[in-house]
């Protein structure tokens, strides 16, 4: 074989290998996994602003029909899901004021109620079908002197003893928990579906979702339910995390200010 032909053969081999790798990567990003970042503090301290997540798009089968030999299952209570924001159909003007376009932004929340179930809120407790939802409640506030609240973890003040069936943590502010103890918890005027004492029924093929940072979460209590078709997948783990307070929101600055203790953390 001539040297020129040999070089062409090597080039072709590398090119074909690159194309195959690119196709596999594109297939994976389209059907199996997706990378997302968290823009708001609604899931603190479970997920922090500056965390970059990998999302399993394969685990929840389209149409709800699972294949027995594949690692698929139905959406369950407690799952942290990524979905397309459906928009506030009760108050569309609120989206316009905030610059939100329905279906154009991805949200990350925890599934609280499943299709056909009822949801009720009383004194910072959630009731599903009339029974108390087992959540581990933690009282936590923003650290004193913090300028950018969305970029800082909540500072734990106290927490209730954890029961064996409490599989995840939720965070309420000190002011909120004090009001709940006194029985005079104020109702957010923007709230349409989470008013205390109001029983809500989740429609079929839809889910009621909430952020773990309960006093700072734009979720189903305000704009309603998430239809199954809008759900992208389940948050798996944090593949990168950077300190937004120490960075200037540029790519390079995020690389230079990692939160190493969060990288690789499984999302639960």
Q: What pairing do the DSSP bridges indicate for beta strands 226-227 and 131-132?
A: unpaired
The count of domains in the chain is 1
Q: Per the domain annotation, does 178 fall within a domain?
A: yes
CATH of the domain at 69: 2.10.109.10
* Contact indicator for 133, 112 with CB cutoff of 8 Å: yes
Q: Per the domain annotation, does 5 fall within a domain?
A: no
Q: Per the domain annotation, does 3 fall within a domain?
A: no
Alpha-carbon distance of 80 to 77, in angstroms, equals 9
Q: Per the domain annotation, does 209 fall within a domain?
A: yes
* Six token digits for residue 171: 């965070």
Catalytic residues: 42, 109
Residue 239: in which H helix or E strand, if any?
Answer: strand 231-241
Alpha-carbon distance of 108 to 27, in angstroms, equals 23
Q: Per the domain annotation, does 129 fall within a domain?
A: yes
Domain that holds residue 209: 38-256
Residue 164 makes CB contacts below 8 A (sequence gap 6+) with: none
pLDDT tens-digit map of 175-221: 999 999 998 888 888 899 999 989 999 999 999 999 999 999 999 99
Q: Per the domain annotation, does 97 fall within a domain?
A: yes
With a threshold of 0.75, does the pTM exceed it?
yes
* Six token digits for residue 133: 């939802």
pLDDT tens-digit map of 146-182: 766 666 789 999 999 999 999 999 999 999 999 999 9
Q: Per the domain annotation, does 266 fall within a domain?
A: no
Q: Per the domain annotation, does 58 fall within a domain?
A: yes
pLDDT tens-digit map of 26-80: 444 444 567 788 778 999 999 998 899 999 988 898 765 655 556 789 999 999 9
């Amino acid at each position: 074989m001539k040297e020129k032909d040999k070089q062409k053969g090597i080039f072709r081999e590398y090119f074909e290998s690159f194309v195959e790798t690119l196709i596999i990567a594109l297939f994976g990003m389209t059907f199996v996994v997706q990378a997302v970042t968290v823009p708001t503090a609604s899931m603190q301290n479970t997920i922090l602003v500056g965390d970059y997540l990998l999302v399993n798009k394969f685990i929840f089968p389209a149409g709800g029909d699972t294949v027995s030999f594949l690692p698929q299952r139905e959406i369950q209570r407690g799952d942290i899901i990524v979905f397309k924001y459906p928009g506030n159909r009760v108050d569309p003007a609120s989206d316009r004021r905030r610059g939100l376009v329905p279906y154009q932004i991805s949200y990350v929340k925890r599934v609280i109620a499943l299709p056909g179930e009822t949801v009720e809120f009383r004194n910072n407790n959630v009731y599903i079908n009339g029974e108390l939802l087992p959540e581990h409640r933690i009282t936590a506030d923003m650290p004193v002197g913090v300028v950018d609240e969305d970029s800082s973890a909540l500072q734990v003040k106290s927490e209730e003893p954890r029961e064996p069936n409490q599989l995840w943590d939720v965070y309420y502010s000190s002011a909120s928990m004090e009001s709940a103890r006194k029985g005079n918890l104020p109702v957010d005027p923007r709230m349409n579906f989470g008013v205390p004492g109001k029983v809500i029924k989740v429609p079929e093929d839809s889910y009621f979702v909430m952020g773990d940072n309960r006093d700072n979460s734009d979720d189903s209590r305000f704009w309603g339910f998430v239809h199954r078709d809008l759900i992208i997948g389940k948050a798996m783990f944090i593949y990168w995390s950077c300190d937004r307070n120490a960075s200037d929101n540029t790519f390079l600055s995020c690389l230079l200010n990692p939160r190493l203790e969060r990288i690789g953390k499984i999302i639960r």
